[in-house]
């Protein structure tokens, strides 16, 4: 597979879209936040009120994560965010 030949023994965190080529990656992987934000924005445009609200909240939260890349939160703020975010995902 060309992808595996390209990266060889590299073991860092792979940031990618969900393209199937990356499915065999056995190390850490994160979906690109820009791709997730794009999907969340599409949800925020749905007619269903519940889906629309979920999409809006996820867009906000993902954009906050992007902001925190340059200005990380304090531990308490991060824990509160993580708890809120996981509850949101579980609820929907």
User: What integer pLDDT is reported at residue 1 of this predicted model?
Assistant: 64
Tens-place pLDDT, residues 2-44: 766 777 777 778 788 878 777 777 778 888 899 999 999 999 9
**pLDDT for position 7:** 74
pTM: 0.75
Alpha helices in 21-74 (DSSP H): 33-44, 49-68
More confident residue, 14 or 92: 92
Q: Compute the distance between CA of residue 26 and CA of residue 71 in angstroms, rounded to an integer.
A: 30
pLDDT, tens digit, 9 for 90 and up, residues 67-84? 999 999 999 999 999 999
The whole-angstrom separation of Cα 43 and Cα 49 is: 10
For 85, other C-beta atoms within 10 Å of its C-beta total: 16
User: What is the β-pairing status of strands 29-31 and 14-16?
Assistant: parallel
């Amino acid at each position: 597979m060309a992808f595996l030949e390209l990266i060889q023994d590299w073991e860092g965190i792979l940031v990618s879209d969900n393209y199937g080529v990356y499915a065999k990656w056995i190390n850490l992987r994160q979906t690109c936040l820009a791709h997730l934000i794009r999907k969340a924005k599409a949800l925020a445009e749905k007619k269903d009120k519940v889906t629309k609200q979920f999409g809006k909240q996820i867009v906000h939260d993902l954009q906050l994560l992007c902001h925190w890349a340059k200005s990380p939160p304090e531990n308490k703020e991060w824990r509160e965010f993580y708890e809120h975010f996981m509850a949101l995902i579980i609820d929907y």
